[in-house]
Amino acid sequence: MAVILAYNEAIRLPFFLRHYRELGISKFIVVDNNSDDGTESIVSHCEDILWLRTGLPYKEFKSKWRHLICDRYLDGKWVVFPDVDELLVFPGWPQIGVDTLVKYLDQKGYDCLFSTMVDMYPKGSLEDLAYKAGDSFIEVCPYFDAGGYRHVPLKGAGGRNFKTPMRHVFGGARERLFHHTAKRSQNVLDKLLLATRFSIESRVPETDFGKYLDRRMFKLVKNGLPGVDPLMSKVPLVKWRKGYTFSGGVHNLTQELKMAPDWGALLHFKYLEDFKTKVDDALDRQQHAVSSRFYKDYVPHLDRIMSEGAFFEGSERFENVQSLLNNGLMRKSPALENFLLYKGAT
């Protein structure tokens, strides 16, 4: 089952639906926030899609929509929560589908799967992309930042209020392109801690003292990091239990869930030729988090990104999930490796 919130995603929906149907998703619940671009004509007549249209404000109701649907109808079921510009992949994909993955998660007693968000982009300019509805996102935008990520605790209230996950991923293309301003320059200690304790390969401490030390050490480096730094990870696959609560998006849950040591990845396809239009629309609607502050950071760089694109010397082409595993953006535990060997999916 997939629960999706959508607004004006007609160009992305055909391939998005194809990807998730191929993953084995047999039912979609789409909450359409008054799209006016033809989204309705794509989703309203599909037998595997329950289409719900609403004009209520997204920023006030996005969590309520998810919670209400899942509490009432999906208690005890595995649910995936992708945005329409996100493709979930995981170790073993595409040889195994989501049904096989959740069988492994159930066998091990896990409640959810953590996933990085990996911004994908083309080699050239965005304005010349000419993407057509139904085209493969991955073929059109096959590149990603291979480095520049960190795995750190949340700052401030976020770290106190949400118990799953204990750390998130930040960095990558979006921070490189748009979010640069920090309170101070990074010093030697910052660089050392970011390269070791908070590298993308680093692990969440298991003891209470280790978690306390994690928070204290992160305080030492946080002022050397961008003040506006979008989360590049989510918890998009959850075995839902009535009463679970997300933060505004599906980045965090208030409750403590048993999270698999394995990581999936959400390949994120924001950078099509409609990127500038999407940014302008988001700023007009003001329906995104913290007064759409991330979108405000895009504005000074929009013309350059549209004409030059996001590709740089640190870009790598996505060939398969091994590309992500090699760069620490996906994880595969020995238990999952053995499970995949048994399934013949390695």
Query: What residue ranges do the domains of the chain occupy?
Result: 85-181+226-343
DSSP E strand stretches across 148-197: 149-152, 168-171
Each residue's pLDDT tens digit, 83-128: 999 999 999 999 999 999 999 999 999 999 999 999 999 999 999 9
Q: In 3-state terms, what secondary structure has residue 102? A: helix
pLDDT at 290: 53
Q: In this structure, what token pair is assigned to residue 202?
A: 């680093």
- Please tell me the predicted confidence (pLDDT) of residue 134: 96
Say how far apart CA 7 and CA 343 lie, in whole Å: 38
In the structure, what pLDDT confidence band is assigned to residue 288 with cuts at 50, 70 and 90? Answer: low
Q: Which helix (H) or strand (E) holds 115?
A: strand 112-121
Q: Over 90: is that where the pLDDT of 214 sits?
A: yes
Q: What is the pLDDT of residue 346?
A: 61
Please, what is the average pLDDT of the chain? 93
The answer on pLDDT for 287 being more than 60 is: no
- pLDDT, one tens digit per residue, over 240-265 is 999 999 988 899 999 999 999 999 99
3-state secondary structure of 117: strand
79 backbone dihedrals φ, ψ, rounded to 5°? -130, 135
CB 205 within 8 A of CB 248: no
In this prediction, residue 112 carries a pLDDT of 99
Is the pLDDT at 289 greater than 80, yes or no?
no
pLDDT single digits (tens) 300-333: 889 999 999 999 999 999 999 999 999 999 999 9
pLDDT for residue 150: 97
> How large is the average pLDDT for residues 261-285?
93
Q: What is the pLDDT of residue 199?
A: 98
Please write the tens of the pLDDT for every residue from 181-199.
Answer: 899 999 999 999 999 999 9
Give the separation between CA 61 and CA 44, rounded to whole angstroms.
21
Which residues on adjacent β-strands are paired with residue 316? 144
Helices (H), 222-310: 275-285, 289-298, 302-308
pLDDT surpasses 80 at 343: no
- Closest C-alpha among 57, 38, 305, 307 to residue 176: 305
Q: What does the pLDDT read at residue 236?
A: 98
pLDDT at site 284? 83
pLDDT tops 70 at residue 4: yes
Summarize the confidence of residues 149-176 as an average pLDDT.
89
**pTM listed for this prediction:** 0.95
CA–CA dist 275, 255 (Å, integer): 35
pLDDT per residue as tens digits for the range 39-83 = 999 998 899 999 999 999 988 899 999 999 999 999 999 999 999
Average pLDDT, stretch 235-240? 98
pLDDT at 292: 62
Give the span between the Cα atoms of 265 and 340, in whole angstroms: 17
Closest CA to 80 of 293, 249, 239, 310: 239
With a cut of 80, say whether residue 146 has pLDDT above it.
yes
Nearest to 268 by CA among 313, 310, 326: 310
Nearest residue to 327 via CA among 122, 118, 142: 118
pLDDT band at 281 (very low <50, low <70, confident <90, very high): confident
Quick one: how far is CA 311 from the chain centroid?
20
Backbone angles phi, psi at 119, to 5 degrees: -65, 130
Do β-strands 168-171 and 149-152 pair in parallel, antiparallel, or remain unpaired?
antiparallel
Percent of the chain with pLDDT over 90: 83
Cα gap 329→264, rounded to integer Å: 8
Q: Are residues 237 and 78 in contact, defined by beta-carbon separation less than 8 angstroms?
A: yes
